[in-house]
Structures are given as C-alpha cells and as structure tokens.
C-alpha cells in the first residue's frame, strides 16, 4: 500500500497574515458599527442623541479598546511592525480616559465631550484598520494610504484636547465622591484628582512625542509609497 499524501502545512507568514486580517476586520466592524450608530442617532434625534452616547455604544467601545491592547503583544512578538512605546502611549491615553474618567463617573457619561471623543477615535480607527487590513492582503490604494498617514494630523491634537477637557470636567466629581482615592499605611494616601492633574501634564508631553513619531513615520511611508509607484 502506498503512503498517503502528507498534509500541507501552512506557512507561518500566511497564518500570521490571516490572524492579523481577522483582528483588523473585527476592529473595523466594531468601529464602523459605532460610527454608523452615532450618525444615524444624530440625524434621528439631533443633539439629544449626544447625551446618551455612552449608554448606547459604550459597551462596544470598551470592548474594542480592550481588544486593542493585543496590539502591544503583536508588536512585542514581532507579528506587527510598529514601535512599542508610541503605541503604548496612544493606548494608555484611551484606556485611562475611557475606563477611569468616563466609565467611573455617570455624570461625565452625559457630557458632549464623550460624543466628540468617540467620533474622533472612530474616524482615526476606521481609516487605520481599513488600511492595515488591506495591507495584509498586499492591496494598497494611494488615496487610502495618504489618508491613513494624514488624517491624524488635525484629529489627534483635537483628541488630546478633548481628553484633557474630559479630565477637567471630571475633577469636581472625583473630589466630591472620592472615587479611586485610597488611604495607605503610614498616613499616606492616593488622591486621584491630584493624579489626574499630573496626568494632564503628561498627556501633552506624550502628545508631542507621539506626534513627532507619527510625523516621521508618515514621511517614511509616503516616501516609500511614492518610490513604489514610480517603479
């Protein structure tokens, strides 16, 4: 009897690309659903829809942002080419604002700044994940490449300003309710309003570092892309 055919093994590169494609697709679908939901609700209910933005889409937003922490693992193990520290700064900004500032305070969840933040985050992520998803398949469009490397330039600073404003609006509530403020042994204590005020300074320092990194990355990507088009 002849030997059976040996099963074909998938090349690790194809497995990596398949995994990244599924990850980017999940993120794209999540953020697209959020953006579409917000748009439809705004045209249906006007400004009233902005007040309950968090109540209608907050769960999906928290899920998408939680999953995005996998990107740090992707970079660390080498399946995604990016710099770890700048991506860590961007993800940390969102996690702190979403889970510490917004989720913990019901009063902040009804503020217009939450809706504005969600719009900015989703605009950036829909373009970024679309570009990344297509890039994994070897597909590239000049307009999409340019957009993914340019859209952040006006929106990212606005995101940071909106995040800072959300922190500023939350301070009175953290001071009144004492949320996350804890007494420690030896007459020490963690007073979150002070921590958030310090984080405001770090937020703008981090913005400068991240903006510089993204600008350098944009210059390199567009230069390489223009060379490929000429070949």
Element (H, E) at 183: strand 182-184
Average pLDDT of the segment spanning 11-31: 90
3-class SS of residue 112:
helix
Query: d(Cα 115, Cα 48) in Å, to the nearest integer?
Result: 11
Q: Closest by alpha carbon to 20, among 59, 77, 61, 58?
A: 77
Convert the pLDDT of each residue in 122-143 to its tens digit.
999 999 999 999 999 988 888 9
Give 180's pLDDT tier (boundaries 50, 70, 90). confident
Average pLDDT over residues 176-181: 76
Going by C-beta distance under 8 Å and a sequence separation of 6 or more, which residues neighbour residue 64? 27, 30, 31, 34, 125
Q: Where are the alpha helices (DSSP H) in the chain?
A: 12-45, 48-51, 53-67, 70-77, 84-95, 106-109, 112-136, 142-148, 152-177, 192-230
Mean residue pLDDT across the chain: 88
CA dist 90 → 14, 86, 216 (Å): 28, 6, 16
pTM for the whole structure: 0.87
Distance CA 46, CA 114 (A): 15
Catalytically active residues, by annotation = 156, 163
Tell me the mean pLDDT in the region 41-69: 92
On the question of pLDDT at 1 being above 50, the answer is no
Summarised one tens digit per residue, pLDDT across range 189-226 is 677 889 899 999 999 999 999 999 999 999 988 887 66
pLDDT in the model for residue 65: 96
What pLDDT, on the 0 to 100 scale, is given for residue 229?
59
Burial 125-157 (b: 16+ CB within 10 A, else e): bbbbbbbbbbbbeeeeeeeebeebbeebeebbe
DSSP state of 10: P
More confident residue, 225 or 15: 15
């Amino acid at each position: 009897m002849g030997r059976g055919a040996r099963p074909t093994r998938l090349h690790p590169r194809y497995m990596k690309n398949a995994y990244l494609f599924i990850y980017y697709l999940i993120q794209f679908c999540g953020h697209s659903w959020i953006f579409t939901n917000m748009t439809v609700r705004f045209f249906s209910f006007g400004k009233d829809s902005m007040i309950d933005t968090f109540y209608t889409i907050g769960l999906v937003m928290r899920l998408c942002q939680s999953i995005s922490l996998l990107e740090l693992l992707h970079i660390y193990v080498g399946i995604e080419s990016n710099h770890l520290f700048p991506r860590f700064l961007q993800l940390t900004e969102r996690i702190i604002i979403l889970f510490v500032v917004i989720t913990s305070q019901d009063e902040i969840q009804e503020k217009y700044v939450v809706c504005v933040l969600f719009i900015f985050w989703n605009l950036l992520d829909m373009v970024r994940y679309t570009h990344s998803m297509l890039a994994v398949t070897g597909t590239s469009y000049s307009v999409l490449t340019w957009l993914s490397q340019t859209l952040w330039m006006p929106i990212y600073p606005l995101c940071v300003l909106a995040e800072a404003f959300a922190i500023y609006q939350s301070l009175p509530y953290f001071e009144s309710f004492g949320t996350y403020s804890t007494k420690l042994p030896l007459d020490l204590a963690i007073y979150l309003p002070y921590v958030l005020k310090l984080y405001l300074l770090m937020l703008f320092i981090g913005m400068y570092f991240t903006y510089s990194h993204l600008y350098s990355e944009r210059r390199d990507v567009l230069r390489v892309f223009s060379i490929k088009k000429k070949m």
